[in-house]
C-alpha cells in the first residue's frame, strides 16, 4: 500500500524533521503443493450495495488432518463498528454475515468474533484427507470504506470474502484488523469465481478479465495467487497494451484523461523494468485501476490488480501519480509472488517495494534525492532514540505518524546503502535470487538476510543489525 502520509512525506520531509488459469511455466514443482481452492458464486446488487454469495473452500490436502477447527478472516466486519480514526470512518457501515456453514456436508456452527470466524471441524472429518467448507455469505459494502468501498457506480471488492487464515509453524495467524499498514497475510490459493451483475456492468479482477463474460455473468479463474480482488463497475474505461507478453490495462474515469497516457506508459515501463531486474511476472495480465479507494490510501496492491490515485500533490500543484503506480506494481513481485507476513514483518514487502519504486523513479524519471534518504536516516535514528521502535516490528507497534518512515523509507535507504557497498549488479542478483528462491512462498527477514549474505559472500549481519534494528557493534 501507499498511504497519503508517505506520499506527502516525500515532499515535506524537511518540514516534518520535527498486496483463465495461469500456471507459471517455470513452476512445475509447485504443482505438488496443494493449495486452498475457493469457489464462489456471487450476485451483486448495486441498489442495496450488497453481494450475496455461496462459497466452497477446499482445504489443502492433509494439512488440516487432526485439526479441531479452521479460522477465517472476515475483514468486512471491521466496517461494522468503526474503532479507528473518525476521519476514516465509513459514511455507511459494511459487514459480512455468514450462514449455512457445513464441513463435508455436515452442518456446523461457526463462532464469529468481529473479523475472525472459527469453523469447528467435526471429529469424523478431521481424520479425512480433505475437507470442504460450504457457506453462504451476505456482504454489505460500506460507503466511504477503506479499500472495500463503493463509489458512484463502482464497487471495490477487497478482502471481501471469508479468507482462510494462515496456519504455520507459529500456529494460526488470526490478528485483528487495523488501519496502519496492510493487516493481511494469506498464502497462495486457487480461485474459481462467478459474479452475476445487472446489465451494463463490467468486472475488473485478479483474473484475466477478457473473454470471460457470458451475458451478465463473469467467470473468473485464477490459480496461484494470495488473494482475489474485483472491481465491479459501470463507469470505467480502459487503455490496453502488451509488454513482455503481459496485458497491462489502465482503467480510468471521466476527468482523468490528462494523466492516463503517462500513467499507462509508466505501468508498461514499470512492468518491463521489474521483469528485467527481478525476474518475470508470471501472470498474463495486470490491471491498474485509477481512483480513490478510501481515506488516506493513495494506492493498494492485490494480485494482478492495483489501485492508484490519478494525481499526487507537489509543491507547485499536482502531477501524474507515476510513483504510486510503479510502487503498487512492484508489489506484484514483493507481496504478490514472494509473500511475507505483512502483519509481523511489514518492512519486508514495503521496504523492497519502496526501493524498487525509487530505483524506477531514479533510472526512468531521473528523480532521485539522495539527501532525502539521508534526512530519513537521521530522522528514523531520532525516532528510535525517542520511542525505541526499530524498522522490523509488527505493524501494530507503529503509530501511523512514523509507520511510513520506519517501514518504507528507512529500509529503502538501507537497500541503497547495500547497493553502494556491493554494486548494482550484485544488488540486482540479491533481488532476483530472492524472487526466484521464494516465489509463491512466504519469506522472512531472516531469509532475506541469509540470501543477501550468500549472494555477496559478505558478513552482512552488522549491516542489517544497524539498519533494521538500530544496533551498532
Ligand atoms: Zn506498498
pLDDT tens-digit series, residues 251-262: 999 999 999 999
* DSSP string computed for 33-77: S---EEEEEEEEETTTTEEEEEEEEEPPTTTTTT-SEEEEE-GGG
**Nearby residues of 219 by Cβ (< 8 Å), 6 or more positions away:** 193, 194, 212, 213
CA of 392 to the centre of ligand 1 (A): 15
Q: SS3 of 108, please?
A: coil
CA of 300 to the centre of ligand 1 (A): 7
CA of 96 to the centre of ligand 1 (A): 26
CA of 61 to the centre of ligand 1 (A): 33
96, β-bridge pairs:
139
Domain 2-21+240-469 homologous superfamily, CATH: Neutral Protease Domain 2 (1.10.390.10)
Q: Which three cell numbers stand for residue 432?
A: 532476483
Look at the chain and count its residues.
473
Give the largest CA-CA distance in the chain.
67
Supply the angle between the helices 410-422 and 424-438 in degrees, to the nearest 10: 120
CA of 304 to the centre of ligand 1 (A): 15
* CB neighbourhood size of 153 (10 A): 14
CA of 350 to the centre of ligand 1 (A): 5
* CA–CA dist 363, 458 (Å, integer): 27
Q: What share of the chain is helix, strand, coil (3-state, %, to 5)?
A: 35, 30, 35
CA atoms within 13 A of residue 220's CA, in its CB half-sphere:
28
Looking at the chain, the whole-number percentage of residues with pLDDT higher than 90 is: 83
Q: Is 54 annotated as a binding residue?
A: no
Give the active site residues. Answer: 328, 408
pLDDT of residue 12: 43
Q: 34-235 domain in CATH 2.60.40.1730?
A: yes
* CA–CA dist 290, 319 (Å, integer): 14
Residues of the chain with pLDDT under 50: 9, 11-31
Burial of 32 (0-12, 13-18, 19+ CB in 10 A): exposed
* CA–CA dist 215, 195 (Å, integer): 11
Q: If we measure between CA atoms, which residue out of 333, 303, 336, 166 comes closest to residue 228?
A: 303
Q: Where are the domains of the chain?
A: 2-21+240-469, 34-235
pLDDT of residue 310: 97
Q: DSSP strand E in 116-216: where?
A: 116-120, 132-140, 149-151, 154-157, 163-164, 166-168, 171-173, 189-196, 202-205, 213-214
Q: Is 318 annotated as a binding residue?
A: no
Q: If we measure between CA atoms, which residue out of 305, 402, 388 comes closest to residue 347?
A: 402
* CA–CA dist 286, 290 (Å, integer): 13
**Nearby residues of 109 by Cβ (< 8 Å), 6 or more positions away:** 101, 120
* H/E run at residue 264: helix 257-278
CA of 219 to the centre of ligand 1 (A): 29
Q: Is 331 annotated as a binding residue?
A: yes
452, β-bridge pairs:
none
Sheet of 305-308: strand order equals 2-3, 297-302, 305-308, 285-290, 246-252, 237-243
Q: Identify whether the C-beta of residue 304 lies closer than 8 Å to the C-beta of residue 245.
A: no
Amino acid at each position: 500500500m501507499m498511504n497519503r502520509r508517505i506520499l506527502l512525506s516525500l515532499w515535506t520531509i524537511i518540514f516534518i524533521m520535527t498486496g483463465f488459469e495461469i500456471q507459471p511455466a517455470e513452476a512445475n514443482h509447485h504443482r505438488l503443493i496443494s493449495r486452498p481452492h475457493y469457489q464462489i458464486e456471487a450476485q451483486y446488487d448495486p441498489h442495496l450495495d450488497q453481494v450475496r454469495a455461496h462459497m466452497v473452500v477446499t482445504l489443502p490436502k492433509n494439512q488440516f488432518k487432526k485439526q479441531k477447527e479452521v479460522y477465517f478472516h472476515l475483514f468486512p466486519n471491521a466496517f461494522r463498528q468503526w474503532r479507528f480514526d473518525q476521519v476514516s470512518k465509513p459514511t455507511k457501515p459494511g459487514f459480512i454475515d455468514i450462514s449455512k456453514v457445513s464441513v463435508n456436508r455436515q452442518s456446523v456452527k461457526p463462532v464469529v468474533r468481529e473479523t475472525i470466524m472459527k469453523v469447528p471441524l467435526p471429529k469424523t472429518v478431521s481424520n479425512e484427507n480433505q475437507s470442504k467448507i460450504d457457506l453462504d455469505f451476505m456482504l454489505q459494502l460500506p460507503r466511504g470504506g477503506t479499500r472495500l468501498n463503493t463509489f458512484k457506480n463502482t464497487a471495490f471488492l477487497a478482502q471481501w470474502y471469508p479468507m482462510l487464515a494462515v496456519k504455520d509453524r507459529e500456529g494460526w495467524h488470526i490478528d485483528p484488523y487495523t488501519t496502519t499498514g496492510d493487516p493481511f497475510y494469506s498464502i497462495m490459493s486457487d480461485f474459481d469465481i462467478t459474479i452475476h451483475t445487472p446489465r451494463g456492468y463490467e468486472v475488473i479482477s485478479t483474473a484475466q478479465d477478457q473473454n470471460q463474460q457470458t451475458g451478465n455473468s463473469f467467470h473468473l479463474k485464477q490459480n496461484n495467487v494470495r488473494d482475489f480482488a474485483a472491481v465491479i463497475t459501470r463507469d470505467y474505461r480502459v487503455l490496453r497494451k502488451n509488454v513482455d507478453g503481459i496485458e497491462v490495462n489502465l482503467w480510468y474515469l471521466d476527468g482523468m484523461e490528462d494523466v492516463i497516457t503517462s500513467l499507462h506508459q509508466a505501468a508498461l515501463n514499470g512492468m518491463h523494468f521489474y521483469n528485467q531486474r527481478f525476474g518475470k511476472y508470471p501472470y498474463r495480465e495486470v490491471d491498474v485501476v485509477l481512483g480513490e479507494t478510501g481515506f488516506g490510501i493513495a494506492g493498494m496492491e492485490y494480485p494482478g490488480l492495483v489501485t492508484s490515485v490519478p494525481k499526487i500533490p507537489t509543491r507547485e500543484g499536482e502531477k501524474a501519480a507515476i510513483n504510486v503506480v510503479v510502487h503498487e506494481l512492484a508489489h506484484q513481485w514483493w507481496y504478490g509472488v514472494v509473500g511475507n507476513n505483512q502483519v509481523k514483518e511489514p518492512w519486508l514487502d514495503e521496504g523492497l517495494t519502496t526501493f524498487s519504486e525509487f530505483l524506477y523513479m531514479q533510472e526512468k524519471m531521473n528523480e532521485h534525492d539522495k539527501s532525502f534518504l539521508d534526512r530519513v536516516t537521521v530522522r528514523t535514528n531520532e525516532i528510535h532514540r525517542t520511542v525505541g521502535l526499530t524498522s522490523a516490528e509488527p505493524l501494530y507497534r507503529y503509530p501511523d505518524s512514523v509507520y511510513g518512515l520506519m517501514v518504507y523509507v528507512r529500509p529503502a535507504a538501507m537497500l541503497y546503502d547495500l547497493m553502494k557497498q556491493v554494486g548494482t549488479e550484485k544488488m540486482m542478483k540479491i533481488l532476483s535470487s530472492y524472487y526466484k528462491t521464494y516465489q509463491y512462498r512466504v519469506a522472512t527477514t531472516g531469509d532475506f538476510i541469509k540470501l543477501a549474505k550468500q549472494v555477496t559472500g559478505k558478513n552482512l549481519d552488522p549491516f542489517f543489525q544497524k539498519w533494521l534494528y538500530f544496533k551498532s557493534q
